[in-house]
Amino acid sequence: MTRTMTSLLGLAFATSLMPVAASAQTVLDVVAWKGSEAQPAGLPELIEKFEAENPDIDVELTYVARKDVDKVIPPRLQGGNPPDVTMVDSALVDLWGGAGFLTDLGTDSPWYETMIPAVRDVMSSGDEILVYPLEVVGMGNFVNMDLLAKVGIEKAPVTLDELKATCKALAAEGIAPMIFAGTFPAMLYVGANGIDPNGISPAEYGSGERTFVGDKNFNASLDSVRDLVDAQCFDPELQAGLDPWATAPQEFRSGNVAILPQGAWNIGNFSDVEGLNYQFAPMPSAFTEYGLALDLVGPGWAIPRDAEHADAARKWVDFFTVEENLAVFLKEDGAYSPYTGGTPTMPDLTAPYTQARDAGSLILWPFSTLEFPKPLQSEWEDSLTGFLLNIDKPNEDTLQRWDDVVEDNL
């Protein structure tokens, strides 16, 4: 054997004794508008668990606010370098799925069969399902029960008569009864008193088949706002300029106001306040004795068509189909499951809202189901602010603006 050959054999033997390098990690690129410090939704905990179960995958979560997703993600989809997984809602499913940018997750999955039919209708595209829905989020009234107790009221108001009586009692004692900011809170109230859960489908308004102008229910809804003003629930001009996303929740957190229309995503934030005794109740409504639960079809996970790590992305989606994992997300985000069965995750303080849902006194919020065109939401917010600034102007002035937006988007 030559000296060269001996050297090569020795090198091979030495190489065989070296430790084997760890396999290359897959970095899973996930984009979501949950997972921030303000709204973690259990994602930090779930990512840690996912990575422990899949040691060859590292999750890189990028937080992008929902209002920015429309600007950030489309260039990546069009450029062929999308995230591996992205959070989507019904509007994005309709837009991106319609353009062929999302992967069909298949209707043969067990979770598809257990999806609540109304949610399935919203999130499906023909015979494809392009998203794994994560949650249904309640929207209703946060009610400070200690402030109500000061005026001898033990129950969160769920009818219009109860709401007006509560406002009068609180105002008489110098307690601020209600926040009714002209954008989101006012919109929830007007919707809850304009959409009869057993009456006209919201799709009839959104399609232009029926107009808002002249509609009995929506005229009555705007009239009832004036009744709330007369009952001293709020000062309309002050409410018109109130920030519904920062100032309004902080006022409730601080115990300065008794009633706040908002979404259940605030439950975790409010429950962190020591001594804040509150309940989450349905919106008082003229249509039902239970109050009306406004269910928002929330976001879900989608896998873009050109995802670099499609197999790892599918593992991420499948991870959330495990009941105990989804339950963490739901509990932390204050949401209901979009699937039948499963363990309840909502806290006891949501009992009034859950009771309304169980009684069938609910609607799916038409902006989240695309029954109302998306531009109509900003028009509702703007026009209701104007309505509060001039509470005596004819209803037609507000309602015609809604019809104009619908007509422009047909």
Q: What average pLDDT does the segment 256-281 reach? A: 96
- Rounded to 5°, angle at Cα 334 from 329 and 339: 65
pTM comes to 0.87
Residues 57 and 196 in one domain: no
Question: In this structure, what CATH number is given to the domain that contains residue 64?
Answer: 3.40.190.10
- Give the C-alpha separation, 24 to 57, whole Å: 9
Please determine, for residue 216, whether its predicted confidence score (pLDDT) is greater than 50: yes
Residues 157 and 212 in one domain: yes
Environment class of residue 286 by beta-carbon count within 10 Å: exposed (0-12), middle (13-18) or buried (19+)?
A: middle
- Reported residue count of the chain is 410
Q: What local confidence, expressed as pLDDT, does residue 320 receive?
A: 98
- Give the C-alpha separation, 194 to 188, whole Å: 10
Residues 264 and 387 in one domain: yes
Question: Which range has the worst mean pLDDT, 10-14, 284-288, 294-298?
Answer: 10-14
Please determine, for residue 7, whether its predicted confidence score (pLDDT) is greater than 50: no
- Whether 122 is in a domain gets the answer yes
Find the helix packing angle between 323-333 and 43-53, rounded to 10°: 160
Environment class of residue 16 by beta-carbon count within 10 Å: exposed (0-12), middle (13-18) or buried (19+)?
A: exposed
Residues 161 and 83 in one domain: no
Type of residue numbered 379: E
Is residue 281 helix, strand or coil? strand
Please determine, for residue 4, whether its predicted confidence score (pLDDT) is greater than 60: no
Q: What local confidence, expressed as pLDDT, does residue 22 receive?
A: 45
Q: What local confidence, expressed as pLDDT, does residue 122 receive?
A: 85
Residues 278 and 306 in one domain: no
Place 20 in a pLDDT band, splitting at 50, 70 and 90: very low
Partner residues linked to 102 by β-bridges: 304
Q: What local confidence, expressed as pLDDT, does residue 395 receive?
A: 98
- Give the C-alpha separation, 202 to 197, whole Å: 9
Q: Which two tokens stand for residue 218?
A: 């929506």
Domain of 381 in residue numbering reads as 140-295+349-408
Q: What local confidence, expressed as pLDDT, does residue 18 receive?
A: 42
Residues 259 and 358 in one domain: yes
Residues 86 and 182 in one domain: no
Residues 219 and 367 in one domain: yes
First to last CA, the chain: 86
- Whether 6 is in a domain gets the answer no
Residue ranges of E strands in 92-179 = 124-125, 128-129, 132-133, 136-144
Please state, for a pLDDT cut of 70, what percent of the chain lies above it: 94
Please state, for a pLDDT cut of 90, what percent of the chain lies above it: 87
- H/E stretch holding 261: strand 259-263
- Whether 16 is in a domain gets the answer no
Residues 118 and 150 in one domain: no
Q: What average pLDDT does the segment 339-343 reach? A: 86
- Whether 343 is in a domain gets the answer no
Place 23 in a pLDDT band, splitting at 50, 70 and 90: low
Place 147 in a pLDDT band, splitting at 50, 70 and 90: very high
- Whether 90 is in a domain gets the answer yes
Residues 354 and 222 in one domain: yes
Please determine, for residue 299, whether its predicted confidence score (pLDDT) is greater than 90: yes
DSSP label at residue 277: -
Please determine, for residue 202, whether its predicted confidence score (pLDDT) is greater than 50: yes
Q: Where are the alpha helices (DSSP H) in 197-336?
A: 202-206, 216-230, 236-240, 247-253, 267-271, 310-320, 323-333
Partner residues linked to 143 by β-bridges: 259, 279
Residues 248 and 290 in one domain: yes
Q: Which two tokens stand for residue 156?
A: 């969160």
Q: What local confidence, expressed as pLDDT, does residue 24 receive?
A: 59
- Give the C-alpha separation, 287 to 197, whole Å: 8
- Whether 221 is in a domain gets the answer yes
Residues 209 and 327 in one domain: no
Total domains present in the chain = 2
- Whether 99 is in a domain gets the answer yes
Find the helix packing angle between 184-192 and 374-389, rounded to 10°: 100
Question: Which range has the worst mean pLDDT, 75-84, 112-121, 206-215, 379-388?
Answer: 112-121
Please determine, for residue 136, whether its predicted confidence score (pLDDT) is greater than 70: yes
Q: What local confidence, expressed as pLDDT, does residue 38 receive?
A: 78
- Whether 10 is in a domain gets the answer no
Type of residue numbered 342: G
Place 6 in a pLDDT band, splitting at 50, 70 and 90: very low
Contact 367, 207 (CB under 8 A): no
Contact 40, 67 (CB under 8 A): no
Please determine, for residue 16, whether its predicted confidence score (pLDDT) is greater than 80: no
